[in-house]
Amino acid sequence: MSSQGLRWYSYPVLDSTNEEAKRLLSQGFGHGTVVEALEQTKGKGRKGRTWFSKKGEGLYFTLIVEPQETGEMAAGLTLVMAIAVCRALEEIIPFDRIQIKWPNDLIINRKKVCGILAELILEGSQIQGAILGVGINLLQETFEEELKTKATSLYLETGQVPDVAAFKEALEHYWMEYYEKYRENKTLEFLREEYQKRLVNLGQTVRVLDPQGEYEGIARGITKEGYLIVDTEGQIQHVSSGEVSVRGVYGYV
Ligand code: BTN
């Protein structure tokens, strides 16, 4: 099943492509289904934030991932998607290396151009699947006040209208390649080096916004499970993305 390609279902407007993906999953749509909307009225970001999703300004889509792979591999799926999106974007814009702010914000020139929202879908204790929602800033020329210093778009960075069809084709290729490797390996060891090369905070001081107590340390990379390795004066912490956010000490990255 996993060698099949992606099947895109496009809608003019949805509340949220993640919500529609959940509805489709419950109706039996399976692995490789992608839900896309030109506009979202209730776009969701991580940590309960809103993902502003004006018509045609961004690319908003959600991929359904098959249930049998999602238990132990769930946390790593977003990192796999992050790398696949980086590679696909690099095919359509003149940037050699898009960076990543752990776990899965994609960064160009120290500003966020893409976010990924993963959700695990359970029925009782049974895993029905995972969904990976991706929002890419395509054409925005300005952003809401709270995002102005943090966000950018492909148009602002390149001065060009991005070729979305070419991006989707490339994404399918890279997603299949990296996802297959992840299925075979069951850990992220195979993409650790590539991920770390892209890690915007590598070797820098980060602030870990842990609800149990904030702390600072040096980001050293990721583990094969996808945890961020933070060195707090010789003590190594493995930070899990479900629990915390990470900030640069001088701002967003
Ligand atoms: C983040 O906070 O960085 C994650 C943002 C994820 C946004 C995308 S847009 C498509 C999908 N549908 C949603 O409602 N959210 C995700």
126 backbone φψ class: left, alpha, beta (φ>0; ψ -120 to 50): beta
**Ligand 1 centroid to residue 16 C-alpha, Å:** 8
pLDDT band per the 50, 70, 90 thresholds, residue 1: very low
Q: E-strand spans in 124-239?
A: 126-137, 205-209, 215-222, 228-232, 235-239
pLDDT in tens, 207-225: 998 888 899 999 999 999 9
Nearest CA residue ID for atom 7, ligand 1: 135
pTM score, two decimals? 0.94
Q: Does the beta carbon of 51 sit less than 6 angstroms from any atom of ligand 1?
A: yes
Closest atom, ligand 1, to C-alpha of 18? 12
pLDDT of residue 222: 96
Q: How far is the CA of 117 from the centre of ligand 1 (A)?
A: 5
Q: Is the CB of 101 under 6 A from ligand 1?
A: no
Q: Rounded to whole angstroms, how far apart are CA atoms 150 and 107?
A: 10
Residue 2 has pLDDT above 70, yes or no: no
- pLDDT reported for residue 243: 61
Atom of ligand 1 nearest to the CA of 37: 10
- Asked whether the predicted pLDDT for residue 158 surpasses 90, the reply is yes
Of 154, 142, 246, 149, nearest in space to 204 by CA: 246
Q: Is the shortest distance between the CB of 162 and ligand 1 below 6 Å?
A: no
Task: Tell me the pLDDT of the chain averaged across its residues.
Answer: 92
pLDDT in tens, 128-151: 899 999 999 999 999 999 899 999
Does the beta carbon of 46 lie inside 6 Å of ligand 1?
yes
33-77 per-position pLDDT tens digit: 999 999 999 999 998 999 999 998 999 999 999 866 556 788 899
